[in-house]
Structure 1
């Protein structure tokens, strides 16, 4: 077992996380909201896209379990495609958060949200870099997947769930 690929993947994932945080902190927020027809606000768009991504993350957990229990091609395909869709749903949210709002720490909820947002993409990068790399530790990809799940769950709890509990299930 070689640890080199793991160290490189974790180092690059960490650089992505820190880089996003530094950019979000140094960038002057524009407060320009994502506008999608049918939604009342940028926050509503982000909350619904985040909720859809969170549902797909739950599918990721189920499909990962299927893969590791011999779910074959179906489990692997479900995992791969639900993951791709989840990441695609998070990209406009992340762009909006970084560009319009930046990295913030005004309240504990907002701080956790900012940290989790940076961690999501760092964990994602590290996990993707390790996939298909022979000779690495077998536990690394599931651990990074679990970290990604925890970070996305924290994001959903500190944004979408918060929005829905304070504003209702509005579009």
Structure 2
């Protein structure tokens, strides 16, 4: 690692400055060549980092709980995007890395748009409940998930005639009566 540190830092600076794309970097480092000094340095640094993280994970129960929560959130999102990507069971059809990257970005954009819309709808429903005097329990709100599927019509007809009209301002704060929270 010591002899390749300069190369490692040079690659890091190139990525930070944007002179090397992630696709190019992965293509160059993915050849598993024993002669590729940069690959070997990255591999050894990765091994050292993984060892440190594993030791921290084993010795810290709070870290294990935090990682489990984050993993569950990520898996819920991945399951949701796989469900949204219904054609071909989520498999990417092209072997071209740029087309794959476009497909993944489009799927993320679509999923995030649907999650945002669902969150806005849930926030409006909670506001209506509070305005009607119904108790809104914080534990119930914490258990809500924006990864709902019942409000998404994957095969539905969508009107795109009004897409050019920007939406009005939206207040994202959820203000509930003090006794409700």
Whether these two folds match at TM > 0.5 is no
Higher relative contact order (CA 8 A, sep 6+): 1
- TM-score, normalized by length of structure 1? 0.26
Give the number of the structure whose alpha-carbon radius of gyration is greater: 2
Higher helix residue share: 1
